[in-house]
Structure 1
Amino acid sequence: MRLPHKAHLAIVDGERFVLMINNGSPDEPSLSEVAKPELSGQNYSAGVRHQDDIGQQKGNTDLDELAHAAAAAEYLNRMAMDGKFERLAIVADPKSLGEMRRHYHKTLKDVLIEEEAKTVGGESISRIEEKLLAT
């Protein structure tokens, strides 16, 4: 992923959410943390799609993780509507990214430059920069 200068990067997994900005160039990213909000997952609308007993028993569906992803999307929607960033890339694990997409506002879609389904939550900033260059 080539993240432009001053573009924001949202990193989301089922439990964590970090918003960063690239102070470097696309070829030499230099990420710094902008926010690490504590999200309260209250939107359990994913539960309507995940009511099967087998999925719950095997652990294929964690409604708390999906609610966290919805909360992350709602946070990013508010930031986009408030004009807090012009360009945004999102890196999230596949389940979280799928749930987030269901909640994107048009304003967020307008500033979204790239999405990547990858688990990088918990990685150091330097490791995330390496992974950005690898894709």
Structure 2
Amino acid sequence: MTDKITLKHDGWLVVADGEKALFLRNEGDEKFPNLAVFREQQQENPANRDQGADAPGRFNDGGPGTGSAPHRSAVAETDWHRLQKDRFAAELADILYKQAHKGRFEELVLVAAPGVLGQMRKELHQEVAGRIVGEVDKDLTNHPVGEIEKLVLHSEG
């Protein structure tokens, strides 16, 4: 990341992965940011092996009436863990839309693991997308707030 992002006073910074999101508000200003967590969103998302109970399915794709010998093919197993991450990204996009619609923030910076950021982009309403002043495709959810501030926001001080 070469350029640091600036965020106005009361601008929001959302740090997310597929299971946890931190909503931070800049209580400082563009020159001297001071991020504070004001909301945390979390969902339980066990590993895929703990969510799927069945073995991958199989089906016959040949045999009598088709002119070919019977052939069995495997059906890809559902990635429940990935689906939960996608649902969580959609849930965050919905929260941001509701808050933007209420006028709670003018500027937004999104910081998320690449897959989550991509899914959020797909789900974001125009009202939210128009307020984004920066995006960072990194998972920083387990970093201290001061480090997030240092890694993401421009600071001259």
Could you say whether these structures have the same fold, taking a TM-score greater than 0.5 normalized by the shorter chain as the test?
Answer: yes
User: Structure 2: any 5+ residue segments left out of the alignment?
Assistant: 46-74
Q: Tell me the residue number matched to 1:90.
A: 110
What is the DSSP-based 3-state SS (H/G/I as helix, E as strand, rest coil) of the residue aligned with 2:111? strand
Q: 2:19 aligns with which of 3, 15, 20?
A: 15
- 2:122 counterpart of 1:102: yes
- Post-superposition Cα deviations, 1:44-76, rounded to whole Å, max 9, x if no partner, equal xxxxxxxx83894xx9x7111111111111111
User: How high is the sequence identity, in percent, across the aligned residues?
Assistant: 27
- TM-score, normalisation: structure 1: 0.77
Residues of 2 paired with 1:80 and 1:133: CA distance? Answer: 21
- 2:35 counterpart of 1:31: yes
Residues of 1 paired with 2:109 and 2:153: CA distance? Answer: 14
1:123: how far off? Answer: 1.0
Residues of 2 paired with 1:31 and 1:96: CA distance? Answer: 22
User: Structure 1: any 5+ residue segments left out of the alignment?
Assistant: 42-51
What is the DSSP-based 3-state SS (H/G/I as helix, E as strand, rest coil) of the residue aligned with 1:128? helix
Paired letter, 2:76: D
User: Could you say which structure has the higher helix fraction?
Assistant: 1
Paired letter, 1:96: V
Which is greater in Rg? 2
- 2:76 counterpart of 1:53: yes
Residues of 2 paired with 1:62 and 1:4: CA distance? Answer: 34
1:99: how far off? Answer: 0.4
Asked if 1 retains the 8 angstrom alpha-carbon contact of 2:27 and 2:35, the reply is: yes
Count of matched residue positions in the alignment of Structure 1 and Structure 2: 122
Asked if 2 retains the 8 angstrom alpha-carbon contact of 1:24 and 1:30, the reply is: yes
Paired letter, 2:125: H
Q: Tell me the residue number matched to 1:4.
A: 8
Residues of 1 paired with 2:78 and 2:44: CA distance? Answer: 24
- Post-superposition Cα deviations, 1:6-33, rounded to whole Å, max 9, x if no partner, equal 2110111111011111112334321101
- Post-superposition Cα deviations, 1:95-122, rounded to whole Å, max 9, x if no partner, equal 0010001111111122221111111011
Q: 1:77 aligns with which of 79, 97, 101?
A: 97
Asked if 1 retains the 8 angstrom alpha-carbon contact of 2:86 and 2:119, the reply is: yes
